[in-house]
Structure 1
Amino acid sequence: MMQSRRWKKLFIFNLRWRGGIIIALPVVCLVTAILMIAGLRLQTIEARNQEQKTRKILETTNDLLFALQKAEAEVRGYSLTENDKFLRNYQEVQKTINQEYDQLQMLVKNTSQEEKEVVAKIEQLARRQNQQLEQMIKLVREEETFPPQVNFTNENLLRSEQQFQSLERAIEAFIEQQETSQQQLELIVQSWANRTTQVQWIALIVGLGATIGGIYLFINLERQVSQYTDRIEESNAYLARTSRTLEKRNQELDQFAYIVSHDLKAPLRAIANLSSWIEEDIGENLDTDTQYQMDLLRKRVHRMEAFINGILEYSRVGRVRSERETINVENLLKEIINSLEIPEEFTVEIGSNMPTITTETLPLQQVFTNLITNAIKHHDRADGKVSITVKEQENAYEFTVTDDGTGIDPKFHEKIFIIFQTLQARDTVENTGVGLAIIKKIMDDKGEKITVESEPGKGTSFHFTWSK
């Protein structure tokens, strides 16, 4: 029984592996068949091209032979009749001979050395024949000593005929050789075509077998597919419910933001206005202590309004999306610096090589604004300095905002990113404790990182990454 189970485990493939094999088999067969057919096609095309080339050589050789025969006939006619018409025809035929020979040389340029030697021999015989014909024409044109000339012309005609027969035999032998080569190439073409057909049939049979196996497997998989489909539908229904719940929560959050921005701010503005009216009504009777209390009241009102604005801004991070656009970071920093109330003696320096990136403008603007504002607000001197630099990484840029202020104790490096957490009393430095928390939330939402490097009395450096 145990041995049977072992054999069963050995031979029963996992369903996933069987599926992979059945799917891979037709693909392998198809790729193999395509490669083989492509190779066979290339061989067939090459053989056909060679066959066509051989046929062209035969046609050119026949045309050359015909032209040579015609040239000799025209010279014979001229030698017998001294009619210039035959001479003109001979000259035209000579042009044809040169053209055919040039074409024949071009056709045998990439053939065997034997064929090149045969063509060279034909050329040699043709040139001799051409010289003999030219000699005959020259003799006919001479008008001195007619009887000897005629005898000499007859001798040249006989010699020309003998040379032409040699040339004709050479050309006929070359034609016979080309015809034999043509027949062999036809057999090769037919052989490659038969092999291509055989490979196609084998690929078809194997492909059909693999397809039948795949169909059988898919029939067996139908039940599992149905089960997975039911699970997916359940998951989709759950996701739909979750999505509706999330949408409802977002609507409630938007409604809360509306209430905060309108219903809570309105009483605060009324308190601030009321304190101003009281001061106006009291007028000159307002003593120093009351004035201080009124100022403190309005300061608390403004602080509460800043709290509300910070909460609203914090809640919007990650929920409000803007279009990506290409921005020059240096220009963005200049706009931010110009929009802030910076003491005249305070210096904000922008480093060189600031990049141009494509991103959402608002989140990056918030990060830079809050870091620069935070550095100025918590600096212990009016002539402080803030510098902004950048380093390029493989997939991101690392920006650094550094100040020469009092620094932060390492034990508070994590606390400063928690909302509403401040290191100084709010009456000393007006601060909501929201700015760095907003930055941290933006970093988390974008999948970026921010770290702080600081020690008391050595200034502070905030490093954060931003994807390219």
Structure 2
Amino acid sequence: MRLSTLIFLGFAVVIVLSLVDSYVNNLLSDKVNQNIAFLTRSESVIRNSSRLHKGIIEMQSGFRGYLLTDEEEFLQPYFSGLKTIPKLIKEQRALVKESDVQSRKLDSIAVLHHEWVIYANSLIEAKKESLRKSGVSQRYQFLFENKLRKQVGKKINDNIYNIFRRFDRLEYQIREIRRNQLLQSIDRTKTFSLIFSMLTIAVGVISGIYIIGLISRRIKQMVKLAESISKGQFILVSDDKNDELSSLSNSLNIMSTELSKNISELEKRNNELNQFAYVVSHDLKAPIRGIYNVVQWIEEDLGGEISSEMRKYLNIIPQRINRMEDLIHGLLDYARISRDKPVKEVVDVNLMLNEITEMLVPENFRIKIGKMPVLFTEKIRLEQVFSNLISNAVKYSTGQSPLVEIQILEKSNEYEFKVIDNGIGIDRQYHAKIFEIFQTLREKHDKESTGIGLAIVKRIIEEKHSIIKVESESGKGAAFIFTWPKD
């Protein structure tokens, strides 16, 4: 499966869980809002019920006060209730319209209250008529005996009271149920939100860890392959995932295969060249030695017959022969670097440098050697490097107090050595050229200047996967700096 598909699926699962979470929360929130709305409406129902019941009671109290005292002032709550009670009943009917039970109870209260109003109006009119005639009218007497004394109004009021009590009790019961439902809805909302949040986080984290781990493992394989290639180990990485990274794996495998092929071809050519240089250099010794012998025979046979001019030319020939032998030896040494594999041994660098300087550095030189380490390395190779660099420092020395100084700097995996002299120095334009084979700053006739020493040093250093460079200016001495692995 492609990485983009895996990433898409991971995001898709997270998005789906988020959508489900949002949907469930929305449903639960709707229930919470419904319960909150009901409780709010229920509070209004209870509040209106109290106002309605209180208004009816005040009408009843005013009615009774008027009948007892004949004072019309007591009728003010009664007439006020005739206006407000219908409005309150209408408001209450709108609040309980969703409950058939409560609506029926409210309708019963309205009917009973209407009956009581008819009953009260008849008595009030009869009472007023009696007060105008200054005596008890027959109508009032009839109503008093048949209605008031028989407690018709009281029975209506008792029914109204009982209905109000049942109405309020039922409303409180429903309100308690809805309150519990509200609390349950809130708890359920919290629970589902927590569950879906944890699921979303878990899926996101697991998907991320899986995808990152998959990519990391693949990249580590490729890094390992790249490191192996850099070390000359041209292995191949197995990759059957067929995703975006597969093309990179295939490219690395192709590169490894091609490099292996090219390196093999290069090593073959290099070996052929080294063999050629070794054979040619070795075979050149015989004719050169023959030329030297011929010159000696001429000097012996002719003796005093040789003119001074001719002897001058004959003296030049051995110099050129010696230079040629030095070049051949240098060339053999250069070719032998790749052919020979010296064994490693424990090397006291300080002792080795003392032996080299004692052999190569004249007595008039000042020598400074830092505190050198003990290495487990190829002694012959390290000796060649120091010998060539110290020999160069001696060759190009000038002045009254020539100096050869060797410093060291320890690094994490290697040592950095510095061979310093106060000789003629090297112009910047020659810093790269001096490491090329047969390149020298001395004249060609100088027997000591073969131009191979620094080339040998550079090749040895590069064989160790280390570096060498020079810091110098003309007339200000030179410092050759190279690194050498600790192990």
Give the TM-score, by structure 1 length: 0.47
